[in-house]
């Protein structure tokens, strides 16, 4: 589990703007398809936010280790 984002995306092909596109890389939601021209956009490349950067697995592991010593 990790961070989820609502982002505004401008299609690089037709310039259509879509507001509040959901990007949740740790849940596998990493692509957006433009409703106007069907161009598929890789949201990791578009935002620069990787799955690793969005992940909170390390924090959860630390909490678990502290409480299960």
Per-residue model confidence as pLDDT tens digits over 5-20: 899 999 999 999 999 9
| Confidence (pTM) | 0.73
- Predicted pLDDT at 26: 85
Report CA dihedral (42, 47, 49, 51) to the nearest 10 degrees.
Answer: -20
Classified as helix, coil or strand, 29 is strand
């Amino acid at each position: 589990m990790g961070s989820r984002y609502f982002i505004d995306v401008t299609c690089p092909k037709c310039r259509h703007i879509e507001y509040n596109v959901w990007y949740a890389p740790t849940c596998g939601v990493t692509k957006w398809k433009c409703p106007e021209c069907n161009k598929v956009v890789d949201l990791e490349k578009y935002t620069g936010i990787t799955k690793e950067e969005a992940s909170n697995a390390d924090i959860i592991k630390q909490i678990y280790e502290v409480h299960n010593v």
